[in-house]
């Protein structure tokens, strides 16, 4: 691309672009909040960027991609003709143009638009008409997810068109959770994150970002007990990508990433096996008591099997040797413990953990070691509550500007999000918190 493509021939566009940056439309401001600081798939976008005689709403130089946010005026015949000329000019310079109407500005639609645009040109030319970013207002959230899955599936091309159509058709028959798995796994593969040479935590956090806005729902793993299930029988495997609590978010993001790294199409069965591997002692699902109820054991059991590395000793963690007796000490709070046999099994499990030392990084020490915590490291928030190890789990999230934050399903409810507080302030705001346990996820 010639150097004068952007500004040299049209220097008067520069102050005009600056003026536009100071007066964004509501939709442009919303889009910029989602795009700025590499918040979307790590891509750097510029806003109100001069391109020849035109000013693009958003431009990614790395992938020569323009995103245009269109208001209702873009539906008039005159504006349609103008947009065609503008788009033809920009595309003639080797830059792709994607247009998104105001009412479709959301993280999910931006992801779909960007990933669709990054499809190789030869593949994109063969995509069937059903892969479209434009949908009526009346479409449901499930329709939006399905459409994203279809668009993302196209990124697996080049394959023969007939093969793509078979794949797209199969996606249409999936449920919403399976659609998410297919879309998210394909996104990881396309971005080069489903690779054992890339830190697993980075891939898991990318899944977490895709899950932003998904509702928090507690106690889903105990639902079978309330429905009359027995804690003495093999525990049913509860999995979902449409709602999370703090721990199931961590488990699910890791499971999606690991599933994406396996050859072939990701399956719900494979995803379930990955969940089972991290959720249960030795990776074997038996009765209620085989689940890793104390998160510190989730870490120690995972380390023993090569799934995670306990970073506490390397980060200056102090030993917490308090005995864990919270479950047996609060028997009435756990429906499964109405069974005397299960109560005894949980008591035996608690006593077996007495010899395991937990490495807690004190709250005051977090700023000192913050630069050693990476995106995707698993955080468990230690507590002073007697008999209990941690009260919350999440991922570390490194902002593009270097700040260390938290990606979580909030304890207070709400939706999956990147918290507004940085990690030290986040920990300090948790009542009774004494610090964090840190574990690095490993490909295994």
In this structure, the strands spanning 65-70 and 96-101 are: parallel
Cβ contact 53:62 at 8 Å:
no
Q: In what order do the strands lie in the sheet with 96-101?
A: 46-51, 54-60, 65-70, 96-101
pLDDT tens per residue, range 184-232: 898 888 888 999 999 999 999 999 998 888 999 999 999 999 999 999 9
Task: Evaluate if residue 164 carries a pLDDT over 90.
Answer: no
Predicted local confidence at residue 167, as pLDDT: 42
Q: Say how many C-beta atoms besides its own lie within 10 A of residue 248's C-beta.
A: 24
Q: Which of 72-76, 121-125, 227-231, 321-325 has the lowest mean pLDDT?
A: 121-125
* 128 vs 83, higher pLDDT: 83
* Averaged pLDDT, 378-397: 97
For 91-95, 394-398, 436-440, which range has the lowest pLDDT when averaged over its residues? 91-95
- The pLDDT of 79-89, averaged and rounded, is 84
Contact 435, 366 (CB under 8 A): yes
More confident residue, 16 or 237: 237
pLDDT band at 136 (very low <50, low <70, confident <90, very high): very low
**The pLDDT of residue 258:** 97
User: What is the mean pLDDT of the segment spanning 3-16?
Assistant: 55
Beta strands 308-310; 318-320: pairing state: unpaired
Indicate the CATH number of 200-441 among 3.40.50.1000, 1.10.3670.10, 3.40.50.12280, 1.10.260.40: 1.10.3670.10
Domain locations in the chain?
3-105, 200-441
Rg of the chain on CA atoms, in Å? 24
The class that CATH gives domain 3-105 is alpha beta
Tokens of 139: 């479409």
Cα of 431 vs its chain's centroid, Å: 26
CA distances from 260 to 43, 163, 185 (A): 21, 20, 5
Which range (85-99, 109-123, 148-162) has the least confidence? 148-162
Tokens for 281? 């002692």
For residue 173, pLDDT over 50 is answered with no
- Looking at residue 281, its pLDDT comes to 98
Q: Is the pLDDT of residue 150 over 60?
A: no
pLDDT, greater one: 158 or 288: 288
Partners of 192 in the beta sheet? none
- Asked whether 375 and 205 are in contact (CB, 8 A), the reply is yes
| pLDDT-based confidence at residue 174 (cuts at 50, 70, 90) | low
| Cα–Cα distance for residue pair 220/235, rounded to 1 Å | 13
In angstroms, the CA 398 to CA 423 distance is 10
pLDDT confidence tier of residue 4, bands split at 50, 70 and 90 = very low
What is the model's pLDDT at position 53?
81
For residue 43, what are its two tokens? 């891509």
pLDDT at 11: 58
Among the listed residues 406, 360, 405, 400, the one whose alpha carbon sits nearest the alpha carbon of residue 383: 360
Using an 8 Å Cβ cutoff, are 112 and 148 in contact? yes
Among 257-271, 285-299, 345-359, 370-384, where is mean pLDDT lowest? 257-271
Q: What does pTM read for this prediction?
A: 0.67
**Percentage of residues in the chain with pLDDT exceeding 70?**
84
pLDDT in tens, 245-261: 999 999 999 999 999 99
**pLDDT at 165 exceeding the cut of 50:** no
Per the prediction, the chain carries an average pLDDT of 84
CA angle (54 as vertex; 49, 56 as ends), nearest 5: 40
Per-residue pLDDT, averaged over 351-377, amounts to 96
What are the residues whose beta carbons fall under 8 Å from the beta carbon of 17, sequence distance 6 or more? 48, 49, 50, 55
Residues 6+ apart with CB under 8 A from 426: 405, 406, 419
Q: State pLDDT tens for residues 304-322.
A: 999 999 999 999 999 999 9
pLDDT for residue 115: 73
Which pLDDT does position 157 carry in this prediction? 36
Confidence of residue 163 (pLDDT cuts 50, 70, 90): very low
Tell me which of 71 and 310 has the higher pLDDT. 310
């Amino acid at each position: 691309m010639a150097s004068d493509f952007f500004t040299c021939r049209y220097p008067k566009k520069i102050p005009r672009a600056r003026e536009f940056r100071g007066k964004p439309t509501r939709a442009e401001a919303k889009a910029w909040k989602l795009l700025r600081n590499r918040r979307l798939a790590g891509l750097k976008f510029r806003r109100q960027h001069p391109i020849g005689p035109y000013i693009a709403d958003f431009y990614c130089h790395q992938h020569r991609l323009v995103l245009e946010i269109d208001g209702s005026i873009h539906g008039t015949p005159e504006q349609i003709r103008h947009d065609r000329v503008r788009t033809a000019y920009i595309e003639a310079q080797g830059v792709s143009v994607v247009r998104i109407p105001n009412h479709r500005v959301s993280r999910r639609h931006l992801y779909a638009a960007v990933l669709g645009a990054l499809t190789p040109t030869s593949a994109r030319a063969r995509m069937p008409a059903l892969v479209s970013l434009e949908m009526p207002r009346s479409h449901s959230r499930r329709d939006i997810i399905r459409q994203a899955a279809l668009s993302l599936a196209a990124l697996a091309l080049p394959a023969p068109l007939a093969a793509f159509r078979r794949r797209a058709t199969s996606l249409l028959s999936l449920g919403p959770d399976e659609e998410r798995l297919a879309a998210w796994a394909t996104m990881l593969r396309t971005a080069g994150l489903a690779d054992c040479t890339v830190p697993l935590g980075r891939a898991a956090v990318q899944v977490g970002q895709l899950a932003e806005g998904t509702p928090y729902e507690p106690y889903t793993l105990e639902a079978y007990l309330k429905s009359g299930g027995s804690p003495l029988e093999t525990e049913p495997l509860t999995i979902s990508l449409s709602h999370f609590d703090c721990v199931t978010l961590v488990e699910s993001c890791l499971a999606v990433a690991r599933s994406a790294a396996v050859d072939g199409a990701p399956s719900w069965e494979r995803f379930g096996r990955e969940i089972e591997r991290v959720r249960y002692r030795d990776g074997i699902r038996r009765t209620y008591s085989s689940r890793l109820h104390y998160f510190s054991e989730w870490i120690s059991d995972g380390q023993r099997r090569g799934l995670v590395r306990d970073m506490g000793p390397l980060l200056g963690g102090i030993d917490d040797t308090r005995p864990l007796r919270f479950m047996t000490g609060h028997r009435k709070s756990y429906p499964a413990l109405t069974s005397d046999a299960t109560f005894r099994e949980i008591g035996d499990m608690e006593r077996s953990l007495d010899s395991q030392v937990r490495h807690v990084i004190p709250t005051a020490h977090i700023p000192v070691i913050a630069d050693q915590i990476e995106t995707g490291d698993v955080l468990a928030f230690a507590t002073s509550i007697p008999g209990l190890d941690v009260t919350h789990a999440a991922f570390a999230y490194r902002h593009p500007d270097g700040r260390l934050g938290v990606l979580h399903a909030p304890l207070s409810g709400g939706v999956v999000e990147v918290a507004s507080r940085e990690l030290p302030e986040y920990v300090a705001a948790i009542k009774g918190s004494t610090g964090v346990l840190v574990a690095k996820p490993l490909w295994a």
